[in-house]
Amino acid sequence: MHEFELIKNYFQKLSKNSPSALNLNDDVFFDKKNKLVVSVDTYIEGIHFIDFKKPNLVIKKIIRSSISDLICKGVKPKYYFISGSGNKKSFSKSNLLKISKSLNEEQNKYNIFLSGGDTVFSNKLSFTITSIGFANEIIYRNKAKTNDDIYVSGNLGDSYLGLLVLKNKIKLSNLLSKYFITKYFMPDIQLRLVEKIKNFANTSIDISDGLFTDLDKMINNQKLSYKIFLKDIPISNNLKKILDLKKLSKVNFISNGDDYQVLFTASKNKRRIIRKIATNFKIKLTKIGSTQSIGKKSHIVDDKNTQITLKNKGYFHKF
């Protein structure tokens, strides 16, 4: 069963008396009266991270991916709670010292504060992060308009290549290996965008499961489709170098998730302010396509304006 079927069939009706739950079709809970915004994420060894050989980096990854849920909504994260299940090996004194040090570094970097949590014994390692922020308004899902421009922040694909390096599925030089592994564990989340995105975005989501999977989620309850230009999807110079050298397909790298960049739509009359904010605050914001009426099928086109069929649109949670 797909994640959204599970929610719709078993849990959505339980949230009907709580408008703040947003019908369980967004990444956050938003209590407008109290200006409270909450997100919850769970990370399991072997699914969300390969192993726990680098606990200091795994913790950085899950903290950043968790607070990105708030950032893409235009909300500055303030507090986080962390719960962990593990055994004596995963929570050894050495690992706990590394975890504590990394949490302190992330707190200083993003001005967030550990505020509680829980620990339980289990031979299956997992973490659950609850992130909290405060805002008068947020950017919702499913608020796109027909003929909106579609934008993405930063670059896509570096994290996926880092994952392939970690899995020994691709061989690179030590320098490039370090670059891509760092991007996998420490994604460049866009905190600088948090105060500005409400000035132009109609709807938004962070890219966790893959560009096209998350694009579908962003407009899943609207009578809209999209057209995306592959050539416009931003990638780093390092990734371009590897794709050219090894003759790999760009489309296979930009749709596999773990990027934690902001995906949003904006009306065409917002192009000028978006360019200005991108320049002034040194944030890379790239227009990659547009929304269309449901009468046109969603599609991706290459440099020759030929439609591309995707074998993998990203990660799907199935039960």
* Residuewise pLDDT in 10s, the chain (319 residues): 667 678 778 888 888 889 999 988 899 999 999 999 999 999 999 999 999 999 999 999 999 999 999 999 999 999 999 999 999 999 999 999 999 999 999 999 999 999 999 999 999 999 999 999 999 999 999 999 999 999 999 999 999 999 999 999 999 999 999 999 999 999 999 999 998 999 999 999 999 999 999 999 999 999 999 999 999 999 999 999 999 999 998 988 998 889 999 999 999 999 999 999 999 999 999 999 999 998 788 889 988 888 887 666 554 455 4
153 residue type, one letter:
S
Task: Please report how the helices 174-185 and 55-71 are oriented relative to each other, as an axis angle in degrees rounded to 10.
Answer: 50
Return the bridge partners of 150, or none. 265, 289
Enumerate the H helices of 111-206 as residue ranges. Answer: 158-166, 174-185
Whether the model pTM is above 0.75: yes
CA–CA separation, 318 and 305 (whole Å): 33
Q: What is the dihedral of CA 252, 293, 199, 108, to 10 degrees?
A: -30
CA–CA separation, 49 and 116 (whole Å): 23
CA–CA separation, 211 and 272 (whole Å): 24
